[in-house]
Amino acid sequence: MAIPVSRETLLTCCHSGAWADAVLAKQPFQSMEKLIEGARSAWWNETPITGWLEAFAAHPRLGDRRGLAQRSGAFSDLSRDEQSSAAGAAEATLAALADWNARYEARFGHIFIACAAGTPADRMLAMVKQR
């Protein structure tokens, strides 16, 4: 039995229209494993750099409580959950994270992206400084 997948659902986990369209073109998916395989293939082999930048731009900056709070929908719910470990961070840590995020964006042309799930703000700060 095929797993139903919609563009809207795909965009909640990766906000790139080109990627979502490439995944949809691979349907039907007979298992979750095949869906994940197709999604990975679409990202690495079929999504142009503009699609990557679209996905990056949809992400809230790490530690940006205000920006995260202003977003709505399932994608932002996932981002809020992922960044929840930074919720108790000191204001000084969040300010430093914002500063280093801005430096990263100025240097590379897009925001700093990392898997933040379960990662405290001070560790995220060390990660962005390292890059």
Which residues are identified as catalytic?
59
Give the separation between CA 4 and CA 30, rounded to whole angstroms. 9
Give dist(CA 30, CA 38) in Å, integer.
11
| Cα–Cα nearest to 102, from 65, 70, 63 | 63
**Residues near 128 by beta carbon (within 8 Å), at least 6 away in sequence:** 62, 97, 100, 101, 104, 112, 114
